[in-house]
Amino acid sequence: MADALVLVSGGAAVTPFTDTDRGAASGLAAGNTLTALREHYRAAGRPVFTAPARIGAGTVEADAGWQGFGDVPVVLPAELTINAVGAVDGAGVALAEFLRWLSAEYAVSSVDLVAHSMGGLFSRAAIRELAGVGPRVDRLVTLGTPWDGAVLGDAVAGDITDADAHGDPATTTILDQARAYAAANSQGAAEQVSRRFLRTWNEAQAGVLDDVAVTAIGAGYFAAATEPTQLWPHDGLVSLRSGRADDVPAAVVPRVDRHSFPDHVHSIFFADAFGLPWERALTWDPRVFDVVDAALRR
């Protein structure tokens, strides 16, 4: 088992830096994506850290948004902080620098990464950037990561449209709001999370994960239709097939275990929006954590 566990949040997430003992003193200690996972591993006695992330460049001191946080005890510099709405490779550079800092400050020589949503892409880019200079990454576990594209990116690219929702009101709303959010906030992330972009990007990542054991976990609560498989079923932002890396070539992900949670959504934001308990989110369900635990023990 690696020396430490690092949790990585995804696109548009605001996450403070936390270590095993110190988190945000008000609100959700590790933000609305990673707090439950962090608490799970703190309770298990595992050294656990969260990588800082924010919307745009800068540092993370608080999040005044939905289920946010404040009173962050350790604020890391901008160069160690992921721009969660920026380009994937730029986020990977920042995450790699954070992992090197973590190695130096906490004497960590190896890490396991558990990543949500685009955090899985950021993690893959960081593994490439480390290239033997920094801590060794033993395992990568992804929760709802768009290995092969996301609803947001494909909608922005015009590769899925309202017609592909087949009249499903939830999916139509998600498509409309995704396009609006991307227009207002994206600094590259939305454009780079399309299947069209990622299929090219994935080709360039061949070999990066050769020495990393991967577990890919997908969800598919929204299942009103079956076509196009690029969309259905989906968790609100990522199709089940994409979250499981089903269509990613073996040259890119040679060692992968795939798991499905067809009755789950992407995050507690989606659970809340559609009247579901938070435990129906990939990031908040102890049953999902059991799968992550098993992956980390292997």
Phi, psi dihedral angles at 4 (to 5 degrees): -150, 160
* pLDDT tens track for 26-68: 999 999 999 999 999 999 999 999 999 999 999 999 999 999 9
Beta-strand ranges (E) seen in 82-127 are 82-83, 110-116
Task: Examine residue 285 and state whether it is found in any structural domain, yes or no.
Answer: yes
Question: Is residue 14 situated within a structural domain?
Answer: yes
Give the 3-state secondary structure of residue 255: coil
- Residue 101 in this model has a pLDDT that exceeds 90: yes
Does residue 166 fall inside a structural domain?
A: no
CA–chain centroid gap for 242, Å, is 13
User: Could you give the number of structural domains in the chain?
Assistant: 1
Query: Residue 108: inside a domain, yes or no?
Result: yes
**Cα 45 to Cα 30: distance, rounded to the nearest angstrom:** 17
Residue 73: inside a domain: yes
pLDDT, position 51: 98
In a domain, 197, yes or no: no
259 inside domain: yes
CATH of the domain at 253: 3.40.50.1820
Q: Is residue 38 part of a domain?
A: yes
Instruction: Round to whole Å and give the CA distance between 3 and 167.
Output: 49
DSSP 3-state of 115: strand
Mean pLDDT, residues 152-172: 96
Q: Assign 132 a pLDDT band (cuts: 50, 70, 90).
A: confident
pLDDT at 298 over 90: no
Token output for 123: 């993690």
Note down the domain range covering 219: 4-149+205-297
